[in-house]
Amino acid sequence: MQHHKEFHYHVLVPILLVLIFLPDAVRGQPNMDVEWKPELTEVWEPVPPIVTPGDGMNPPSDAVILFDGKNLDQWKSNDGGEAGWDVSGCIMTVTAGAGDIHTTRSFGDVQLHIEWRTPAEVEGEGQGRGNSGVFLQDQYEIQILDSFDNATYSNGQAGALYKQHIPLVNASRGPGEWQTYDIMFLAPVFSEDGKLVRAAFVTLIHNGVLIQNHVELRGPTLYIGLPTFTAHGRLPIRLQDHGNPTSFRNIWVREI
């Protein structure tokens, strides 16, 4: 009887270890972790791939360019046709009524860089001032808004995970000034039978300032109500037409 009990505890430890490390395995990232042995100091393999860093308006060498100022070839409209936003002077601007635009490609986990500018001439207030948004995988919105001296609900200001996470600080620049979002997005993971294995997570740096630190999403962005995740795979990135002429430039993404 005694021997039987000990056997059970012995088996339990490796099972617990597997459970602890399961999320990384499920994520499917290439494993660059060191196999940990107490006597190990220098580790030479694997060698991380070389990426030439970006500089100003030049993206890193392994980035997928989504907008370089020339055209909207990487984007399509709500109905799958040509994206109807204005492109001029190396920037694109929301054409009110043209609808949201979607990347032609689909993505999972990404690092996304996007530069945006709300109109220099301030019109409207609250949610009606320079409103747009970055929807990761078509359904998780990071709010874009002129939040410079513009009161609105905190979970809907610039840098909010809309209605889910208030930004840590307000790092907004003024109307008419270019602003940057650097977004680290971990897509939700689902089991084969559609159950949520890992929620989506977002880290957001606004104008060089950390404003969302690995926050967990509760589900897709909803205007009202409690969201729940529904199983999906890779999906496009979407930019919102909220009726305000917000502009964009230098958009690129790196798959993680």
Residues at the site binding Mg ion, with contacts judged by CB under 5 A = 131, 133, 240
Tell me how far CA of residue 66 lies from CA of 28, 75, 118, 241, in angstroms: 24, 8, 20, 17
Looking at beta carbons, which residue is closest to Mg ion? 133
Tell me how far CA of residue 5 lies from CA of 1, 9, 11, 62, 67, in angstroms: 7, 7, 10, 54, 62
Nearest-approach distance from CB 57 to Mg ion, in angstroms: 25
Find all residues with CB under 8 Å of 70, minimum gap 6, and list them.
87, 90
Nearest-approach distance from CB 222 to Mg ion, in angstroms: 13
- 205 vs 239, beta carbon nearer Mg ion: 239
Nearest-approach distance from CB 115 to Mg ion, in angstroms: 17
- 54 vs 126, beta carbon nearer Mg ion: 126
- 68 vs 155, beta carbon nearer Mg ion: 155
Nearest-approach distance from CB 201 to Mg ion, in angstroms: 20
- 83 vs 189, beta carbon nearer Mg ion: 83
